[in-house]
Amino acid sequence: MTKPTLRDILRALKTPNAWLLLVLGFSAGLPFLMTGATLGFWMREEGTSLTVIGYMGWISLFYGFKVVWAPWMDKVRLPVLHARLGQRRSFMLLAQGGVILSLIGMAAIGPTGNIWAFVAVTLLLALCAASQEIAIHTWRIEQTEGQAQEALNPTIYSLGYKIAAIVSGSLILVPAERFGWPATVTGLAALMLVGVAATLIARPSRAEALTPQVPYSFDTYVVVPLKSFFQEHAGLAWWVLATVALYRLPDYLIGPVAGPLYSDTGLSNADIAYVRSTIGLAASFAGVALGGASLLWLGVERAFWLGAVTGPLSNICFALMASHPGDVTVFGGTLIIDNIANGIAETAFIAFLTRLTVKEHTLTHFALMYSAADLTGKLLKGFSGQIVDGLTAAHGLFGAYQTFFIGTAVAGVPALSLCLILRQRGLFKAT
């Protein structure tokens, strides 16, 4: 396959939609950690046990069930909104409104308030955030034309997502320490308005404009799109789903206990925020840039292989943090390696899923594959806190953390093995 030229790359970067993806990626990434590491950090500061924090991680399972409602998002036309915004942007706007209301609700209730009400609004947040994410991805895929955009669009989206992760995962700790979590989470809801603005500015894709309205039936909405995925990939469909289900598992597993690790090692909120917003931010950008470069010059398949190796190995650095509690230098080094490695893996993962969708059923196919990853990772990560608590009796708290993080690195081996199987069966081709 011919690699894109510098002219192709510059032409792709000049398109307005490419840079709208930066803002939309930010909007998609902003609520993500509020069902993961940041939520865990908030709850830990309120005295919640690691076991309960781990169970709360299951709330983000809604990300894994997005395939259940994705066919309706693909076909149903929302009253009023569809006429003004089109199919993709109408659902993007609806989901963004839900995210804003959910964050305000979480801020009002808090983890020490009515726990069931807090769980309910956090569930709503996960539902709306997952819907926003797949709607944006579908809009992105339908805007993609040519190899340069195939590499750059997921890279720019991932860059925006990374910036949001810095905001909601580290910078958020500074106002949280000064003004408290309720005011800070409300401020996070206000930041979602930039995503709303991007949605209103964006234009529908040509593919969307040419898609006719389909009469409702379970067969046309659900059966036909899912069947087309298995027909498109023939005997490889189940292997593909197994691979994507396990590809990001090591990263999912550390999510609920990463925040508690920072807290338990004695790092202050100010130290965490400073390191993550300086060294961590630079490493995040470097990781996404390297991910984009690998897509451009290695191709989607080889970049996917590279991510399957770098992502899991970076988890070992968290074990080093546990062996050097409170050491800001080790913390900074961990963030550099983790953010670069996962920037490569995440960008390649998104591009790989994009490559495997069929345009007539883009949203449903993307949701199916992403659901496989989310469902596996977020179901298993609910046990993360319990595993660390269970290991503490035998190894002590920091020994338990070390054992756990090394184990999560080993959890990357099955995905790498499945990549070998896919290559042997002809899915991966040299590019």
Task: Note whether residue 335 is domain-resident.
Answer: yes
| Chain segment 307-327, per-residue pLDDT in tens | 999 999 999 999 999 889 888
Cα torsion 39, 271, 346, 417 to 10°: value is -90
Task: Note whether residue 1 is domain-resident.
Answer: no
Position 2 scores a pLDDT of 62
Q: Quote the Cα angle for 368-55-328, to 5°.
A: 100
Task: Note whether residue 392 is domain-resident.
Answer: yes
CATH, residue 30: 1.20.1250.20
CA distance readout (Å), 159 to 18, 289, 331, 373: 12, 8, 22, 20
Task: Note whether residue 262 is domain-resident.
Answer: yes
Structure tokens at 174: 């500074």
Q: Number of folded domains in the chain?
A: 1
Task: Note whether residue 70 is domain-resident.
Answer: yes
| Chain segment 344-401, per-residue pLDDT in tens | 998 899 989 988 988 778 889 999 999 998 888 878 887 888 899 899 988 888 899 9
The candidate with the shortest Cα–Cα distance to 160, out of 339, 13, 346, 25, is 25
Surface-to-core class of residue 301, CB atoms within 10 Å of its CB (0-12 exposed, 13-18 middle, 19+ buried): buried
| Chain segment 72-118, per-residue pLDDT in tens | 898 888 999 988 898 899 999 999 999 999 999 999 998 887 888 99
CA quadruple 27, 31, 37, 38: dihedral sign = positive
50-59, 73-82, 190-199, 221-230: range with lowest mean pLDDT: 50-59
Residue partners of 227: CB distance under 8 A and separation at least 6: none
Task: Give the best-scoring range by mean pLDDT among 4-18, 165-179, 182-196, 273-287.
Answer: 182-196
Confidence (pTM) = 0.81
Task: Note whether residue 429 is domain-resident.
Answer: no
Task: Note whether residue 430 is domain-resident.
Answer: no
- Give the SS3 label for residue 233: coil
Supply the range of the domain harboring residue 39: 6-424
**Within a 10 A sphere around the Cβ of 228, how many other Cβ atoms?**
15
| Chain segment 324-343, per-residue pLDDT in tens | 988 899 999 999 999 899 88
Percentage, residues of the chain above pLDDT 90? 41
Position 430 scores a pLDDT of 41
Task: Note whether residue 431 is domain-resident.
Answer: no
The candidate with the shortest Cα–Cα distance to 155, out of 29, 3, 22, 27, is 22
Cα torsion 346, 349, 353, 354 to 10°: value is 60
